[in-house]
């Protein structure tokens, strides 16, 4: 089938136009694309360092309590209070590693009193003793002895938590109804965070002036002969 000369010219023109637009399209897009906005200075968070330290203290407490609660839950759920030796060893190792990590996390700077650091160290050491005793009982399967060991471990965990809360530089609880917690000697009070400056108020916008009243239009003259 032969193509007419007119059809050939039209087809050739369409192909050339498509190629031209296809090449120029990305260029047009690049020219029309909005430029990246200049970096805006972000103000620092007031008291970020102190807040970060308090957050770390909470993380240290959670890091110790989580493996302990895993061990207690497994021991209480075990038939007859007897854990398989492999499970007991695995759960006990997780607690030992967490206690060691919490002991190393104590800050070396003199931000906390020596007594607070000593109490935390004593609480961690006592928790390790109670956990070791719990593991020995759990491997034997003595329900009565297990109940005593679980209670002792819970109490030791509370000691660790309180020593961290009171000596870790955390703010005092402020929920109405809660008793005021004592403070440990040598622990400085939590510094107040600097206030955030208020946003300056915008000046009042002047009201729009009233427009002058439009003058009354003159009465139309009467046309002779149209009177009633």
pLDDT digits (tens, 9 = 90+) for 124-135: 999 999 999 999
In a domain, 217, yes or no: no
pLDDT at position 226 is 58
Question: What pTM value is reported for the model?
Answer: 0.60
pLDDT at position 25 is 52
In a domain, 109, yes or no: yes
DSSP 8-state symbol, 228:
-
Closest CA to 102 of 161, 188, 22: 161
Residues of the domain holding 123: 60-167
In a domain, 120, yes or no: yes
In a domain, 122, yes or no: yes
Q: How far is CA 225 from the centre of its chain?
A: 91
CATH of residue 129's domain is 1.20.120
Q: How confident is the model at residue 28 (pLDDT cuts 50, 70, 90)?
A: very low
In a domain, 41, yes or no: no
* Distance from C-alpha of 224 to C-alpha of 204, rounded to nearest angstrom: 59
CB neighbours (10 Å) of residue 145?
16
In a domain, 44, yes or no: no
In a domain, 198, yes or no: no
Residue 15 scores a pLDDT above 90:
no
Task: Average the pLDDT over 42-59 and give the result.
Answer: 87
Q: How far is CA 88 from the centre of its chain?
A: 34
In a domain, 40, yes or no: no
Q: Total domain count for the chain?
A: 1
């Amino acid at each position: 089938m032969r193509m007419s000369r007119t059809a050939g010219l039209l087809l050739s023109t369409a192909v050339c136009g498509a190629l031209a637009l296809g090449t120029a399209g990305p260029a047009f897009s690049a020219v029309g694309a909005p430029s990246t906005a200049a970096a805006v200075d972000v103000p620092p968070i007031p008291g970020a360092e102190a807040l970060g330290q308090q957050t770390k203290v909470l993380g240290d407490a959670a890091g110790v309590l989580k493996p302990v609660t895993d061990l207690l839950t497994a021991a209480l759920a075990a038939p007859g209070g007897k854990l398989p030796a492999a499970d007991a060893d695995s759960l006990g190792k997780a607690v030992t590693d967490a206690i060691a990590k919490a002991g190393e996390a104590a800050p070396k700077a003199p931000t906390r009193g020596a007594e607070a650091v000593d109490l935390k160290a004593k609480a961690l050491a006592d928790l390790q003793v109670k956990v070791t005793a719990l593991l020995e009982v759990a491997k034997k399967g003595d329900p009565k002895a297990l109940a005593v060991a679980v209670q002792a471990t819970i109490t030791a965990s509370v000691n660790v938590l309180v020593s961290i809360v009171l000596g870790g530089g955390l703010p005092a609880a402020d929920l109405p109804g809660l008793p005021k917690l004592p403070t440990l000697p040598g622990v400085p009070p939590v510094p107040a965070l600097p206030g955030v400056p208020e946003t300056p108020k915008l000046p009042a916008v002047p009201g729009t002036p009233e427009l002058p009243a439009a003058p009354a239009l003159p009465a139309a003259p009467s046309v002779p002969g149209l009177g009633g």
